[in-house]
Amino acid sequence: MTSEKAELLGELLKEMTREGEFIPKEVWLPLQDAVVTSWVELAVPKKTDQGWKLLLTYRKDENWDGWHIPGGMWKVQYPTFQEICNAVAKRELGTEVEYLRNIYTVKWTKHPFAHPLAIVCVCKAKGGILETEAIKFFTRKEVPPDIVNGYHREYIDVIFNDLEKRGF
d(CA 161, CA 116) in angstroms, rounded, equals 23
**Nearest CA-CA partner of 138 in 56, 78, 15:** 56
d(CA 92, CA 94) in angstroms, rounded, equals 6
What letter would DSSP give residue 141?
A: T
- Count each helix (H run) and each strand (E run) in the chain, helices first: 4, 8
13 vs 164: which has the higher pLDDT: 164
Q: Counting beta carbons within 10 angstroms of the beta carbon of residue 125, is it exposed (0 to 12), middle (13 to 18) or buried (19 or more)?
A: middle
For 30-85, write each residue's pLDDT tens digit.
Answer: 877 788 889 999 999 999 999 999 999 999 998 899 999 999 989 878 999 999 99
For 86-138, write each residue's pLDDT tens digit.
Answer: 999 999 999 999 999 999 999 988 877 778 899 999 999 998 899 999 999 99
Amino acid at 25: K
**Nearest CA-CA partner of 154 in 110, 113, 94, 124:** 110
pTM for this model (two decimals): 0.84
